[in-house]
Amino acid sequence: MKSSYVSQMKAVALSITNDVHIVDITHEITPHNVREGAFVLKTAVPFFPTGTVHVAVVDPGVGTNRKGIVITTESQILIGPDNGLLIPAAQVLGHYIVYEIQNTRFMLKLVSNTFHGRDIFTPVAAHILNGVLFEEIGPVVNDYVKIDFEGFKITNNTAIGKIVYIDGFGNIITNIEGDRLQQVLEHGKKIMLFINGKQQEIPFVKTYGSVKPGEILATVGSHRYLEISVNQGNAALKLGVKPGDEVKIFF
C-alpha cells in the first residue's frame, strides 16, 4: 500500500498487546464500497479459528455520528463502524450481540476525526485480547445498520440476481446462492446469460478448465455463489460489468 495506515493500526495493536497474530484479509476493497467489504468479510470469516478478533474498516462516515460497534458471535468477534459492514459476517457466524463502543478508556488518547480504525477499533480489539469485558466497552444495542445480500430469485428454469463482487482475477461473483442453484441446474448444461444488455449461451460447469482458455463459463465458485468467469481471462473486463449490475440466467 502507498500509505502507512495499515502499519499504524498494527503498531497500535502491538503496543497494547503482544499476544496477537495479525492476518491481513485484504487491503484492496474499492474505496468507500461498504457492500464489497461486507461480502469479502462474510466469505472470509468461516475459515478463521475460534477466538479470532476481526477489525474491519470501510468507513466513509468516519467522524460523523455513526456508531462504532463490537459484535460477539458464537466463535469470533467483529469490530468496526456501524454501517452494515460487519453484519453479514455476524450472521454467518451466528448468535450475535452488538455493543456500542463508548468507553474512551479503551481508545487512543487522541482520537482523530478521520481514522477511527487506528484510534478506536484497533485499540478496542487489543484490549479485548487482553481480557477486557464487552460490557466495559459499552452497552448492548439493537438499533444498527444492516446490509442484505438476499434479493436473488431461483425458479425451475431461471435465476436472477446481482453482481456483488469482482475479484482480482476479474471473476464476476453474484448473490445467487450456488447450493440452491445446483438443486435445479445440472453441471454441463448450457444456459443463456443476460448481463449488461447482452445475451449469450455459456456452459454451467464445475471448473474453469472445463472450457478452452478465453471462453466464458458459469460455475459455483469457492464463495458458494454463482460466478461468471473466463478461463485464464478477465470476465468483468470482457463483459464490461460492475458490482450492482443485474444478472439473469435461463436454463
What confidence score (pLDDT) does residue 59 get? Answer: 98
Fold type of domain 5-137:
Rossmann fold (3.40.50)
pLDDT along the chain (251 residues), means of 10: 93 95 96 96 98 98 98 99 99 98 98 98 98 98 94 94 96 97 96 94 98 98 97 98 96 96
What confidence score (pLDDT) does residue 19 get? Answer: 83
The angle subtended at Cα 239 by Cα 168 and Cα 183, nearest 5°, is: 80
What confidence score (pLDDT) does residue 242 get? Answer: 94
The set of residues, in sequence order, having a beta carbon less than 8 Å from that of 161 and lying 6+ positions away, is 151, 152, 153, 174, 175, 176, 226, 246, 247
Q: How is the chain split into domains, by residue range?
A: 5-137, 153-250
What confidence score (pLDDT) does residue 149 get? Answer: 86
The superfamily in CATH containing domain 153-250 is Bacterial fluorinating enzyme like (2.40.30.90)
Digit-coded pLDDT (tens) for 57-93: 999 999 999 999 999 999 999 999 999 999 999 999 9
Sign of CA dihedral 207, 169, 166, 35: positive
What confidence score (pLDDT) does residue 238 get? Answer: 97
Residue 79 forms beta bridges with which residues?
55, 70
In 129-230, the DSSP E strands lie at 153-154, 158-166, 172-177, 190-195, 198-203, 216-220, 225-230
The set of residues, in sequence order, having a beta carbon less than 8 Å from that of 127 and lying 6+ positions away, is 16, 17, 106, 137
